[in-house]
Chains A and B, each alone.
Chain A
């Protein structure tokens, strides 16, 4: 779900340790990867352990048992067929299959669900190939929050379809998904960058509240790291995503926006990245590498950071909400020892909290031969009832505002309560809508430059940012 694939082995290990897979799934996938017997043994025993624990929880039951079919679905399309590309192979598939089955039952439309590739870049490449060929083989698909600009030309306008239930979706996400007059995708579930912190270590070191600003975070991280190093030489203050990939764009955007350094490329296509606040923000982050963060952080992705964090080797982590439920899983060494808050703000002029927006939308293909069916399926999957079920069973963040006040959702995911305001206000969209199909070029230029500053390859940050601004001007001039 995140911006790049970690290795299949790590992923399988993580999923089986968190109890998201059945025994059979583990054996099947471990066999395919050729894993050794002891490793598979560890996975299976963890799975049995977690499965037993989950049986006692209120979410237990068949996948999709909390799905209530919304009223108002079309019934005049019986006998038609839809081909839909949804999530990657993994824990979400049984839920999606249950959702698809209930849709077919209610409408008489038969639906073939296909899993998309695990890596987001591979998935985008597949969509682009299908859509470039104007293939009618796919009627609807889930798309990443940064793709509406790239795929707008191939999408059915859903701006009339979104209001069918009268639900209030987060305005920011709807705006992000709107290119010109076209609503490219209906928001399905969302994501935002979060700061994870260790409640026990903060308390032990005399800090009463999580950091509000980056300066506070640096002080706390340094103090806790100094204190912990005595017993644990591998302990670090702060882990995050610094590898040269889309995830670094998300992290670095938070640093610069929170310091009042603009949004890289503004909505009117002004390239704004070359400013003192942004440069200072990158230099600050370079200062973390090798001090409060491991030197290797410039190769870390989400799962690398989570590995350090979940082993109890870090005081703070920047990551997406998915790490919350994994951190509370039975195998985690930090169960009930952490909490989440907003990513810190800068401290200069224009400083604010900034959490990068992620998440997925449902898009209907313009080349579909069954557009009414495709639109109905997008409406169904993004409806209040289905989002509620997805939140309860899979901890995915809803895109409908009032689901954050739903008691059943909050009981399973207490941290959702804090996130409502993030999506209402603070969440920062990457400059993908305004740069449309050139967004990937923009992001690649950006994360390459920031990664070079972090590793010290570009020793003069200001000069590198000036060069980046020039590159971005070149890309924008093609729009």
Chain B
């Protein structure tokens, strides 16, 4: 996130990307018609499965509709949004989501980068390490969350057993998930455990694109390993890093499964996605739940705009 200096595109570049001129020849025009015809089916599919639900969610968020209720739904303007932003539960859900996103993405990026650098170097058994590294990522989240739930268990859990009985780091067993102070960090740890391999894999792909002769040249010029990392590796890895960050931030912001499995609707770990599910499904409040969903959508949408701008600057 330290790249905000060059966010704004240079004026002439922005101009170039905006200039689109209608084709002047008849061949050009018929080609354009064909192009539209060819993308039409996919546009239709997108409109039906993505655009329509999105518009419907926006519409519902301005009403007080309830599922299967005999109450007549009516338009309530911005009431739902106002209620949400004033409600402690939603505000704390929003702050949990931000904490979860920032800390999990930061840790995953740092650890993923370290791992990618290690497995990028040449050593015996590299193939085996690369494959085994992917195991956490391959396990479905619901399964790994249940597994960690048992590992964190206050009475039977292996985490307490190791820390208390084997290593004697702690004097007494901790209820990792029940204690409000440790619950969210414990869940973040699970997400980091699970997703770091994915991050490492994306970054490894980026590392492999950097040509080796750049390093040779800099060695000849007398650059140290640390200089090489900051002057060559990091700048050349930036496009891959940004793509990985986009994926992870968007994913982390919508986090639902790991939290729902481990803590359900407990207020100390509730994120906005869990909150939206509670409003929509459990409380049948389609209006307020849709408003929460719209807020998630807007947050993610602004992330996407920010990141795509960053990438565009990189490409140019």
Chain A residues engaging chain B, CB cutoff 8 angstroms: 4, 7, 9-10, 34, 121-122, 125, 127-129, 131-132, 150-151, 153-154, 234, 236, 243-245, 294-299, 308, 313, 437, 440-441, 444, 448, 451-452, 455-457
Contacts and interface: CB of A to CB of B under 8 A. Distances in A.
11 contacts: A7-B261, A128-B67, A128-B284, A236-B155, A243-B266, A295-B175, A308-B155, A437-B68, A437-B69, A441-B283, A457-B268
Contacts of B153: 296
Contacts of A153: 69-70
B155 A244 contact: no
Interface in B261-303: 261, 263-268, 278, 281-285
B28 interface: no
B70 to A, nearest CB: 4
Contacts of B283: 440-441, 444
Contact of A244 (B69, B70, B265): B265
Interface string B146-183: 10010001111000000000000000011101111000
Contact of A128 (B68, B173, B177): B68
Nearest to A235: B155
A242 B149 CA distance: 16
A440 B89 contact: no
B68 A299 contact: no
Which 4 A-B pairs rank lowest in CB-CB distance, beginning with the nearest? A296-B154, A128-B68, A295-B175, A132-B68
A236 B155 CA distance: 10
A456 B284 CA distance: 29
B281 to A, nearest CB: 5
A129 B67 contact: yes
A244 B68 contact: no
Given A234-B156, A296-B153, A298-B178, A437 B282 contact: no
Interface in B175-228: 175, 177-180
B66 interface: yes
A7 B266 contact: no
A373 B155 CA distance: 52
A297 B178 contact: yes
B96 to A, nearest CB: 13
A314 to B, nearest CB: 10
Contacts of A234: 155-156
A121 B265 CA distance: 13
Nearest to A447: B265
Contact of A129 (B68, B149, B285): B68
Given A298-B178, A308-B155, A244 B267 contact: yes
Contacts of A441: 283, 285
B123 to A, nearest CB: 31
Interface string B39-77: 000000000000000000000000000111111000000
A122 B280 CA distance: 12
Contact of A457 (B156, B267, B281): B267
B264 A4 contact: yes
Interface of B: 66-71, 89, 143, 146, 149, 153-156, 173-175, 177-180, 261, 263-268, 278, 281-285
B177 A296 contact: yes
Contact of B178 (A121, A437, A452, A455): A455
A131 B68 CA distance: 6
Given A294-B175, A296-B154, A437 B66 contact: yes
A299 B155 contact: no
Contacts of A236: 155
A452 B278 contact: no
Given A243-B266, A444-B282, A299 B178 contact: yes
Contacts of B261: 7
A131 B67 CA distance: 9
Contacts of B285: 441
A295 B156 contact: no
Nearest to A301: B264
Nearest to A246: B282
A290 B218 CA distance: 61
A187 to B, nearest CB: 22
A132 B67 contact: yes
A4 B265 CA distance: 12
A451 B284 CA distance: 22
Nearest to B284: A128
B178 A296 contact: yes
Given A125-B67, A457-B267, 13 more contacts: A10-B146, A121-B282, A128-B67, A129-B67, A153-B69, A154-B68, A243-B264, A313-B155, A437-B66, A441-B285, A452-B267, A455-B179, A455-B268
Given A295-B179, A297-B178, A313-B155, A448 B89 contact: yes
A444 B154 contact: no
**Which of A154, A236, A441 gathers the greatest number of chain B CB atoms within 10 Å?**
A441
Contacts of B174: 295
B175 A440 contact: no
Given A441-B283, A444-B278, A455-B179, A295 B154 contact: yes
Contacts of B68: 127-129, 131-132, 150-151, 154, 437
Nearest to A307: B156
Contacts of B156: 234
A457 B267 CA distance: 9
B270 to A, nearest CB: 9
Contacts of B89: 448
B291 to A, nearest CB: 16
Nearest to A299: B178
A444 B156 CA distance: 29
A448 B265 contact: yes
Contacts of A313: 155
Given A128-B68, A437-B66, A299 B267 contact: no
Contacts of B282: 121, 125, 440, 444
Contacts of B177: 296, 299
Contacts of B149: 7
